[in-house]
Structure 1
Amino acid sequence: MTETRLLMIVEDDEAFAHTLKRSFERRGYRVLLADSHDALQALLAEGHQPGFAVVDLKLGGASGLTCVQTLRATDDEMRIVVLTGFASIATAVEAIKLGASYYLAKPSNTDDIEAAFARDDGDPDAPVDGRQTSIKTVEWEHIHQTLVETGFNISESARRLGMHRRTLARKLEKRRLT
């Protein structure tokens, strides 16, 4: 049976994970931490059945999307929020397709995450403005889509994008958000 106030945080940044853990514990959640897909699977194998999960999109060199898929397979009703410093349309779409309830870009706080857990429906009144997309944004989204397609393999992504691996690595460093 799913524990309604049990929260699984899958985050490889230890300091950030512990900060989130303490904040959610003050709100009455029981919190489990995993820093990888393997650690998540081990906790689930122990019989833990969280009602909520926060998953970082990029776990070291791996994708958090596999964690989303694993969590969704465990419980179809679980509220899963993907939290990332590498936000893009491509990964947002993939996260939702794989079962995430919501997708938040860092920096986000406990209030933002808890509000995302509470949201059941989309917002039809969300503004649909004709925002101008810069070339840098289009480039970033193309890079991110390629990263998703290659499972965040930098070398293969660079090859597909027709750029040197170091060039891609520098671009990724510049866009990194904490």
Structure 2
Amino acid sequence: MSQLRTILICDDEEELAHELGEFFEGNGWKVDVCVTGMAAIEKLRKGLAPHVLITDLRISDFDGAQVVSVARELPPEMRPLMTIIITGHVMDTARAVDFMCDYLYVKPIDPDVLLANIGEFLAHRTFPAAGRS
């Protein structure tokens, strides 16, 4: 990987958010972690521009789909290249497209599988240098 990849992780389960953050840092990613949807939205609007956004679906102050929606409305150079929603609620018929995200995972998530899926998804994307933190 020639360029540092960045990720924003938002989950109100603070321990999970930080464990995922540590996992990605250990795999060479620059990580930002927040535990509220509003914090994630503020970071995005202030120009964080991560390559990947991971958010819990049910966050204490916001719906994760709202966080993804805000991210999708940002100028193209500021939008995450990939958006992921994770949830602890079993949803038999829900799909990622229902939440306008690229992937939908039910907790518990295997970080190795998550990393592999992200790597595969991003392998087909270009990484704009401008605006990425």
TM-score (norm 2): 0.75
Q: Which string of whole-angstrom CA distances, capped at 9 and with x for unpartnered residues, describes residues 49-68 of structure 1?
A: 01111111110263211011
Q: Is the 8 A contact 2:83 2:101 kept in 1?
A: yes
- 1:50 is paired with a residue whose SS is coil
1:88 partner amino acid: M
CA distance in 2, matches of 1:87, 1:61: 20
Residue of structure 2 equivalent to 1:52: 52
Cα offset for 1:4? 6.1
Number of residue pairs the alignment of both structures matches: 116
- Show the 5 A alignment for 1:1-150: 5-60=5-60, 62-74=62-74, 75=76, 78-89=81-92, 92-93=94-95, 95-120=96-121
Gap runs ≥5 in structure 2: 122-133
- Ranked by relative contact order (alpha carbons within 8 Å, sequence separation 6 or more), the top structure is 2
TM-score (norm 1): 0.58
Q: Which string of whole-angstrom CA distances, capped at 9 and with x for unpartnered residues, describes residues 99-136 of structure 1?
A: 3111111111211212232455xxxxxxxxxxxxxxxx
Going from structure 1 to structure 2, the CA distance change for 1:98 and 1:104 (only over 3 Å counts) comes to closer
Gap runs ≥5 in structure 1: 121-178
1:41 partner amino acid: I
RMSD: 2.2
1:80 partner amino acid: T
Q: Which string of whole-angstrom CA distances, capped at 9 and with x for unpartnered residues, describes residues 40-88 of structure 1?
A: 1211232110111111111026321101111222346621111111131
- 1:48 is paired with a residue whose SS is coil
CA distance in 1, matches of 2:39, 2:23: 22
- 1:19 is paired with a residue whose SS is helix
Structure with higher helix content: 1
CA distance in 2, matches of 1:119, 1:66: 25
CA distance in 2, matches of 1:81, 1:100: 6
